[in-house]
């Protein structure tokens, strides 16, 4: 199994540029068999890798997928120079992928500001204090996770009249549904009322953020936009731009295809939604049925689970160092990609448009759900699968379960 990162990151000071990139030739890249993308020579009219001055657009990201979608938005909107603030998490896999994505953002001419936003008890105050001047000056704010308490707090400090939400995976679908119904912003997999002590303390900030993310009445000065590849029905007043992964297709590929199938992992076990034994059984069955040889792990999957998966299924576990949309576009990748309900069943067909790769999605059997799963879990997962376009649907029948 490949390593999540090449080298550990040294703590960065607030507002510092992204820490140095991990060394080349890491185990993750060797397992993938994919050379690192070299910097291109800029053609006439193309943006170079030099940081451009801030033009009033400020983006906040906390995951590699959010940063990828910010780059896609900037490409579509022709935003030539924005400041991307990375609110760095603790998870080493996520940090490693964020470093690689930050390199790509700088190559596109954007400024990247790396914040150790969770680096100790004083980090939040230090981070917020350092970002407040930028928030006050920004004319447009782009966010990747409207459910994030960090982002909700920062939204209360900005005077920007133009807010844009880019995809944070399938969570975007739940965000739009809750916004349309005027509900509190609560992640779909959370179990319980969401009225604990911390929730009550943070409730005023969350309510303010929700109001800012609600479009102003017709003729108002505040605008809200959504940049998404998800199938959503937005409330009146929200501008929608479709994310077609045009930047990804233009920047990478086309990929070399292998003869075997690949399986895409999910963190449904880690979030307490799916039972681990049922999940591993399903992965083994899918591998035998479709001739899969590799398992692309989700960045949040636990090491213990992945070791067990490798031992029980014989699959090669790969820890990608970039979001899967970029990994698949660069290749090599299987002619068939099998996934459980997740973001990639919506994004991979777009990123791989024009190739011969087929994407299939396996339903989640209700019996796989844990006793702690949210009552909304099954309906949400069914919706993710049922709304996916250009994918093959694989019902997990009892015959399949028996192997």
Domain that holds residue 377: 250-401
CATH number of the domain residue 382 falls in: 3.40.50
User: Are 217 and 330 found together in one domain?
Assistant: no
* Digit-coded pLDDT (tens) for 163-186: 999 988 777 888 888 887 777 777
User: Are 282 and 230 found together in one domain?
Assistant: no
165 burial via Cβ count (<10 Å: 0-12, 13-18, 19+): buried
Last residue of a domain, one of 192, 227, 243: 243
* Digit-coded pLDDT (tens) for 108-148: 999 999 999 888 888 888 999 999 999 999 999 999 998 88
Q: What are phi and psi of 115, to 5 degrees?
A: -115, 125
* Digit-coded pLDDT (tens) for 294-352: 999 999 999 999 999 999 999 999 999 999 999 999 999 999 999 999 999 999 999 99
What span, in angstroms and rounded, lies between the C-alpha atoms of 12 and 174? 34
Q: How does the average pLDDT of the chain come out, rounded? A: 82
Question: Can you name the residues that pair with 24 across neighbouring β-strands?
Answer: none
Tokens representing 175 are 């965000």
| SS3 of the chain: helix, strand, coil, percent, to 5 | 35, 15, 45
Question: Is 28 part of any domain?
Answer: no
Last residue of a domain, one of 213, 243, 273: 243
Confidence band for 38, pLDDT divided at 50, 70 and 90 = very low
Q: What are phi and psi of 118, to 5 degrees?
A: -125, 25
273 has pLDDT over 60 = yes
What span, in angstroms and rounded, lies between the C-alpha atoms of 84 and 66? 11
| % residues pLDDT > 90 (the chain) | 57
Last residue of a domain, one of 199, 225, 243: 243
User: Are 305 and 374 found together in one domain?
Assistant: yes
Please report the pLDDT score of residue 397 as a whole number: 53
pTM (predicted TM-score):
0.82
User: Are 278 and 392 found together in one domain?
Assistant: yes
Note whether 64 and 97 are within 8 A (CB): yes
User: Are 237 and 212 found together in one domain?
Assistant: yes
Please, what is the Cα angle at 264 between 373 and 68, to 5 degrees? 95
Question: Is 197 part of any domain?
Answer: yes
Q: How many domains does the chain have?
A: 2
User: Are 160 and 91 found together in one domain?
Assistant: yes
Question: Is 351 part of any domain?
Answer: yes
Question: Can you name the residues that pair with 334 across neighbouring β-strands?
Answer: 258
Which residues are within 8 A (CB) of 97 and not within 5 positions of it... i.e. 6 or more apart? 64, 299, 320, 321, 322, 323
Least confident stretch, 7-11, 87-91, 191-195, 216-220: 7-11
Please report the pLDDT score of residue 54 as a whole number: 43
Return the higher-pLDDT residue of 268 and 119. 268
Least confident stretch, 40-44, 91-95, 253-257: 40-44
């Amino acid at each position: 199994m490949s390593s999540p990162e090449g080298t550990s990151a040294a703590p960065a000071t607030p507002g510092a540029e992204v820490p140095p990139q991990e060394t080349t030739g890491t185990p993750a890249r060797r397992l993938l068999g994919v050379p690192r993308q070299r910097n291109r020579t800029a053609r006439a009219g193309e943006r170079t890798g030099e940081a451009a001055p801030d033009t009033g657009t400020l983006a906040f990201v906390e995951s590699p997928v959010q940063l990828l979608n910010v780059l896609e938005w900037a490409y579509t909107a022709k935003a030539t120079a924005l400041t991307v603030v990375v609110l760095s998490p603790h998870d080493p896999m996520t940090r490693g992928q964020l470093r690689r994505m930050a390199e790509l953002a700088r190559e596109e001419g954007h400024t990247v500001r790396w914040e150790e936003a969770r680096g100790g008890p004083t980090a939040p105050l230090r981070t917020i204090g350092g970002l407040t001047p930028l928030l006050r000056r920004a004319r447009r704010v782009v966010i990747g996770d409207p459910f994030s308490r960090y982002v909700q707090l920062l939204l209360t400090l900005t005077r920007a009249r133009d807010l844009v939400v880019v995809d944070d995976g399938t969570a975007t679908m739940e965000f739009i549904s809750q916004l349309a119904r005027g509900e509190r912003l609560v992640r779909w997999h959370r179990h319980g009322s969401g009225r604990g002590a911390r929730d009550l303390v943070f409730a005023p900030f969350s309510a303010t953020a929700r109001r800012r993310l609600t479009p102003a009445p017709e003729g108002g000065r505040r605008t809200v936009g959504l940049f998404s590849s998800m199938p959503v029905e937005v409330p009146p007043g929200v501008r929608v731009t479709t994310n077609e992964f045009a930047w990804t297709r233009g920047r990478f590929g086309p990929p070399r295809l292998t003869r075997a199938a690949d399986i895409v992992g999910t963190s449904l076990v880690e979030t307490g939604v799916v039972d681990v034994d049922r999940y591993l059984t399903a992965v083994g069955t899918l591998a035998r049925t479709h001739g899969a040889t590799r398992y692309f792990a989700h960045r949040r999957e636990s090491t213990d689970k992945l070791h067990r998966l490798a031992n029980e299924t014989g699959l090669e576990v790969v820890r990608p160092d970039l979001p899967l949309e970029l990994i698949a576009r660069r290749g090599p990748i299987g002619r068939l990609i099998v996934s459980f309900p997740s973001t990639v069943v919506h994004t991979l067909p777009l990123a791989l448009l024009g190739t011969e790769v087929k994407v299939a999605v396996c339903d989640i059997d209700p019996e796989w759900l844990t006793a702690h799963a949210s009552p909304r879990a099954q309906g949400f997962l069914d919706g993710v699968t049922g709304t996916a376009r250009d994918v093959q649907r694989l019902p997990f029948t009892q015959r399949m379960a028996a192997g």
